Amino acid sequence: MRGPHNIWRLVRTGATLERTGAMPVVLEAFSAPPSVRLAARILGWPFKWLGYKGDPSQPPATRALTALGPAYIKFGQVLSTRPDVVGDELAAQLRVLQDKLPPFPLSEAREAVERALEIETDTLFSSFSEPVAAASIAQVHRARLAETGQEVAVKVLRPGIERAFRKDVDAFYLAARIVDLLAPQARRLKPMDVIRHFDGVVQGELDLRMESSALAEFAANTEADEGFRVPAIIWGASARRVMTLGWAEGVPANDIAAIEAAGHDRRALGERVLQLFLKHALRDGFFHADMHQGNLKIAPDGDIIALDFGIMGRLDEYTRRVYAEILFGFIRKDYKRVAEVHFEAGYVPADRDVDEFARALRSVGEPIFGMDASRISMGRLLSYLFEVTERFGMETRTELILLQRTMVVVEGVSRSLNPQINIWEVARPVVEEYIRDNIGPKALVRDLRKTAVVLARFGPKLPGMAEAALIAQSRPAEPPRPARLPWIVVGAALTLGAMGIGVLAGQML
């Protein structure tokens, strides 16, 4: 029955897009070719009466996806992180999608907790409230641990949510295959890859153990960050469908009046939000990728509390160094160096002209730096940068697109707290500190030490490798082969030398 269900779901989707007026918006955002536009009209217009009406007060795309249900809401949120796929205008619409749905009954939540944790709810918790928040995938209850009296938040997956998402994701895959079949020129958007990415994000959010793990890693990384904290995970009361963490008391970051009434310094909070995000992205390579006001609270002591760790971003160490050098080059307006970094990293093909690329980068940076301080945007700079690099042959890098999207969101939070914030002046000390610690002699010594550790692991294998090489050379029946023994000797020498460097680096550090 999966095939008929998928077809029916796509018909209902097309009808809803038509009825809400979202169809032309979506087709234009994807630059859909005539064949896809025709197929969309066939699926949508004749069955328009079958579509959901949605909330007329919302923008067309937001209205349609909200009406279609949880999987579509989540899909829209994920697509909002990919302006390279849906365009800036539609991405901006999708960013305001409200992931809020009516809660399911308290009795069902208690049953779900008991099944997942294999213990009576009243035994584990001395109190367990009605839902305090309900989203597409899960809802949250306030509770108190019976053993310790600690106030906690208990996140519980919606009943049957896995099956519901699976059905809709199957329909998304069918839609991607149709696009591949009818519009080969649209394959540049990689529709199947987009759906696979969404599928991976959803599967991670449908297993709360993954979110718990992300929270634990993020907490360990940020433990020493002044003015910032995250709730502690309660592992003994968490499982695949239930997640329990410490209750976070504070004012929502979007309640400016309450923040002012509590006497918090909005200017300092705005700067801290931005600097913390950059520290997490550059220093740790692991950042909160959904850092909007709804996922931030201001504690009574002024600390910023982050919530909801279902979407996290990760950058490897090399990418972080490249990204930092690019930002630092723009801060200093050294466009030639920014261009060279792109070539050195292999982001731009080597056969392109570095000077021409530097001139293109200047056309990106100068207009932004010429703006009033309150309008300067690092997120806008990165967006324009990707447009230029694409023209010079740079392939889309998903991790940088996610970083750019999150940067836009974080800038929005910072400006809501401090409208006059100068993004570049606030970011500069964080980027400079990272450059100082990770690019230069100190970083070279640390890299050599890491290399020595890796090479030293092969030490125990060297005698066996040398013996095997000698035996292979002594077999007259085999055709002559290039001598391998010298390379074994070189390998041994390199390993021993690297071990020595590792010892020296350890002493220097």
Please tell me the distance from the alpha carbon of residue 314 to that of residue 282, in angstroms, as a whole number. Answer: 10
Question: Helix, strand, or coil here: 296?
Answer: strand
Q: What pLDDT, on a 0 to 100 scale, did the predictor assign at position 146?
A: 95
Supply the mean pLDDT for the chain. Answer: 81
Q: Which stretch of 42-51, 129-138, 336-345, 483-492 has the lowest confidence by average pLDDT?
A: 483-492
Instruction: Assess whether pLDDT exceeds 90 at residue 432.
Output: no
130 is in which domain, residue-wise?
A: 105-158+207-247
Q: Quick one: 468 and 338 in the same domain?
A: no
* Total count of domains within the chain: 4
Is 320 found in the same domain as 228?
no
Asked if 286 and 318 sit in the same domain, the reply is yes
* pLDDT recorded at residue 152: 97
Which pTM value belongs to this model?
0.75
Compute the distance between CA of residue 358 and CA of residue 341 in angstroms, rounded to an integer: 11
Span 429-454, average pLDDT: 74
pLDDT band at 505 (very low <50, low <70, confident <90, very high): very low
Residue, of 291 and 107, whose pLDDT is higher: 107
- One domain for residues 139 and 150: yes
3-state SS of 100-144 is CCCCCCHHHHHHHHHHHHCCCHHHHEEEEEEEEEECCCEEEEEEE
Among candidate residues 337, 342, 333, the one with its CA nearest the CA of residue 388:
342
Same domain, 306 and 396: yes
| pLDDT band at 443; cut points 50, 70, 90 | low
Which whole number is the average pLDDT over 65-91? 75
- The residue from 173, 204, 235 where one domain ends is 204
Together in a domain, 129 and 6: no
In this predicted structure, the answer to whether residue 149 has a pLDDT above a threshold of 50 is yes
Q: How confident is the model at residue 503 (pLDDT cuts 50, 70, 90)?
A: very low
Domain boundary among 407, 439, 471: 439
Which residue, 410, 439, 468, sits at the end of a domain? 439
To which residue do tokens 């839902």 refer?
A: 131
290 counts as catalytic? yes
Q: Of residues 284, 290, 353, 372, which has the active-site annotation?
A: 290
- Do 169 and 154 sit in the same domain of this protein? no
One domain for residues 232 and 299: no
Q: Write out the H or E segment, with its range, that includes residue 202.
A: helix 191-205
- CATH code for position 235: 3.30.200.20
Same domain as 456, residue 409: no
Over 90: is that where the pLDDT of 66 sits? no
Q: Give the pairing of strands 286-288 and 304-306.
A: unpaired
**Higher-scoring residue by pLDDT: 204, 148:** 148
- Average pLDDT (248-269) is 93
pLDDT for res 373: 63
Residues 335 and 449 in one domain: no
The reply to whether 401 and 298 lie within a common domain is: yes
The predicted pLDDT at position 483 comes to 47
User: 455 and 491 share a domain?
Assistant: yes
Q: Report strand pairing: 228-229 vs 304-306.
A: parallel
Tell me the pLDDT tens digit for each residue of 354-411. 999 999 889 888 887 777 666 667 777 777 777 787 788 776 676 777 787 788 888 8
